[in-house]
Structure 1
Amino acid sequence: MQALGPRARPPRPSAPRWPQAAPPPAPGARPGTRPALCSARGRAMESCDLNDPVMEDRPIVTSKQKIEVVCGVPTQVVCTAFSSHIFVVVTQYGKMGTLVSLEPSTVANDICKPAITTRVLLGQDEPLIHVFAKNLVTFVSQEAGNKPILLALALKDKSVEGVRALKEVIRSCQVW
């Protein structure tokens, strides 16, 4: 056995790599229920019936995906609608690229078309990214009732024709 120095610590026992079995159901729980936050009925930390018709009305997440060749480059578009945001991925690299948040302004010059504020969350913060983001998905926010948009953008072709074609592909993946 090796002697431990003044700063050395004894080895820690290893924790199990995989989670243990799920805890048993709560007393009196019905089959098909699980403990969760049941926002459909406003109950917190109670058992939610997964067969509840209110829960079945709408899926939690709606998503559509399309692959098309845009200006000679294979392009993948994925649109996902969450309750508070719409997430749009436009990639010609097979990666998410730069993540941009687009928020409709609460104070707008024109009531019909509110101003959109862009902010790069991940990736390179270049002026052209903001221009592409606004041009690609402003219509999504407007058609979705001014919901905020998260846009993941990774483009090889940065032409005006490419942006027009991408808007049509995004429109074909409408989930809002």
Structure 2
Amino acid sequence: MSESIIKSKQVQKEVNGISTEVVCTEFSNYIFIVLSQYGKIGTLVSVSPDSRSNDISTPAFSTKVLLGKDEPLTHVCAKNLAMFVSQEAGNRPVLLGLALKDSSIDAIKKFKEIIKSCKVW
């Protein structure tokens, strides 16, 4: 059987008492991460390195809600969860599906650890 070209990992963990699923998939031009506490993709956010940034040491990232509610908190969560992935993946854009019951700072830190454990890039 031939191996799939697309690498994907899935993890399910409890975060602050809530069952949380993370699926990380690597495509040639972007990383797709679904972080769900509802069993669905939820709000789809694109997080990409901003090429207009002049300061190389602190790259700027732009976030854009492609599907779902466009709220300021969504952009903050997306940036926090996807920036390190993009940087580790050679500044590839990240497509992030968020369906969260708990978006506290504590939960975001735990989500980042789960995403790191699903590393496919």
TM-score normalized with structure 2 length = 0.95
Contact 1:101 1:148 in 2 (8 A): yes
Per-residue displacement from partner, 1:125-146 (whole Å, max 9, x unpaired)? 0000000000011000000000
Shift of 1:110: 2.8
Aligned counterparts of 2:22 and 2:54: Cα–Cα separation in 1:
31
Alignment-derived partner of residue 131 in structure 1:
76
Alignment of 1:120-159 (within 5 A): 120-159=65-104
Identity, in percent, stands at 58
TM-score normalized with structure 1 length = 0.66
Aligned counterparts of 1:78 and 1:120: Cα–Cα separation in 2:
19
User: How many pairs does the alignment contain?
Assistant: 120
Name structure 2 gaps, 5 residues minimum: none
Shift of 1:158: 1.4
Q: Which has the higher contact order (CA 8 A, sep 6+)?
A: 2
Query: Are positions 1:70 and 2:15 aligned together?
Result: yes
Shift of 1:59: 4.0
Query: Are positions 1:89 and 2:34 aligned together?
Result: yes
Question: Residue 95 of structure 1 aligns to which amino acid in structure 2?
Answer: K
Runs of 4+ in 1 over 6 A off after TM superposition: none
Contact 1:100 1:121 in 2 (8 A): yes
Contact 1:113 1:142 in 2 (8 A): no
Name structure 1 gaps, 5 residues minimum: 1-55
Contact 1:66 1:173 in 2 (8 A): yes
Shift of 1:112: 3.4
